[in-house]
Homo-oligomer: A and B are copies of this chain.
Amino acid sequence: MSGAAVSGLPNKAAILGAGVIGSGWLARLTDSGVDCTVYDPAPDAEAKIAPVLDNAERAAAALIDAPRPAKGSWSLVDSIAAAVVGADLIVEAVPERLDVKHAAYREIEAANADGIIASSTSGFRPSVLQEGMAHSGRLIVAHPFNPVYLLPLVEIVGGKATEPATVERAMALYTALGMKPLHLKVEIDAFVADRLMEALWREALWLVHDGVATTEEVDDAIRYGCGLRWAQMGTFQTFHIAGGERGMRHFMEQFGPALAWPWTKLMDVPEMTPDLVDRIADQSDAQAAGRSPRDLERIRDDNLVAILKALRGTGWGAGQVLAEHEERLRGAKPA
């Protein structure tokens, strides 16, 4: 009672690392009916996984307006080898240290010869990850975004050694999981989405560092303004519209020079002194107004479900991805 209901899904997935990202992948995969084995050396792995699966089920039940397949099974195993045997998708979500990742790949290769190895890294280029592998053609980066069980974006990046067929298979696979795989043709550290987020994050840190705004004020400047735009159109399309009938060309003629104004402080990174860390942490706590991160996680998920459904109503962007996924689910034959 698992897998293969929607074309393109793996038959069996292995997940290495059960942090928030690994657990999120587990939720997406089992919700699509894929059986999974999970390896994580932490003694509390099961305790880390359970609340993520709970939240994911709650969100999917509210979001998906189509018959959902029977959940895939999953189990915790006690080694990488035990996890990857027989898996046609191997999700690598181990800590962001190159030596840890390379060691994991050695263990994978000793036990599995042909599954796709998909790294969740948010920073390392796949060509760097591939160094020293025996069969590096099957490695890609598949970089997701938290919460993995709700946000559709996954950046797909191949390295120098990645076989084109691996990328092609990955694009079908993540689409079958209801995601929006974005294939980046050029490898750079941190890929595209995190660079954009980091640029904004640095500027946000400066604003707090310089005492211009609190964390709450920065967040309000985002969520009551540009954030509403960015949930449905990116920065280029937004400005394309702002340019009027002549679109982006007019916009750049009009506003291009402003970029040379000395407005941002992006050239430096603020030093994260204990004082600055305290200020940001204290302000973030105050902003939470007594809500625990767990409370906020539920609020976030409820909002994301509502936004995704709203965009399904307009048939745009992330809502279109959702509608297409539901179409696939409706058309899927019972396994």
Q: Which residues of A contact B (CB under 8 A)?
A: 20, 123, 145-146, 151-153, 155, 180, 182, 184, 186, 188-190, 192-205, 207, 210-213, 215-245, 247-249, 252, 256, 258-264, 266-267, 269, 272, 277, 280-281, 283-285, 287-288, 292-294, 296-297, 299-300, 302-304, 306-311, 313-314, 316-318, 321
* Residues on B with beta carbons closer than 8 Å to the beta carbon of A196: 200, 203-204, 207, 218, 221-222, 226
CB <8 Å contact, A263 and B221 = no
CB <8 Å contact, A228 and B151 = yes
Report how far A154 CA is from B163 CA in the complex, Å: 50
Report how far A155 CA is from B155 CA in the complex, Å: 34
Given contacts A192-B221, A193-B221, contact A287 B200 (CB under 8 A): no
* Residues on B with beta carbons closer than 8 Å to the beta carbon of A205: 259
* Residues on B with beta carbons closer than 8 Å to the beta carbon of A316: 299, 302-303
Report how far A145 CA is from B266 CA in the complex, Å: 23
Q: With both chains docked as a complex, state the minimum distance between the C-beta of A278 and any C-beta of chain B, in angstroms.
A: 8
* Residues on B with beta carbons closer than 8 Å to the beta carbon of A259: 198, 201-202, 205, 269, 272
> What 19 additional pairs, Cβ within 8 angstroms, besides A215-B237, A219-B236?
A146-B242, A182-B224, A184-B212, A190-B261, A193-B221, A193-B222, A195-B207, A197-B226, A223-B232, A223-B233, A223-B318, A233-B300, A240-B293, A241-B293, A248-B284, A302-B316, A306-B311, A307-B310, A310-B310
* A155, A193, A267: residue with the most chain B Cβ atoms closer than 10 Å: A193
* Residues on B with beta carbons closer than 8 Å to the beta carbon of A184: 212-213, 217
Nearest 5 CB-CB pairings of A with B: A219-B234, A227-B230, A266-B266, A153-B225, A231-B231
CB <8 Å contact, B242 and A20 = yes
Given contacts A198-B264, A241-B293, contact A272 B287 (CB under 8 A): no
* Residues on B with beta carbons closer than 8 Å to the beta carbon of A272: 252, 256, 259
Q: With both chains docked as a complex, state the minimum distance between the C-beta of A175 and any C-beta of chain B, in angstroms.
A: 12
Report how far A227 CA is from B244 CA in the complex, Å: 23
CB <8 Å contact, A300 and B229 = yes
Report how far A258 CA is from B227 CA in the complex, Å: 24
Report how far A310 CA is from B223 CA in the complex, Å: 14
Report how far A182 CA is from B200 CA in the complex, Å: 19
Given contacts A200-B196, A215-B236, contact A224 B284 (CB under 8 A): no
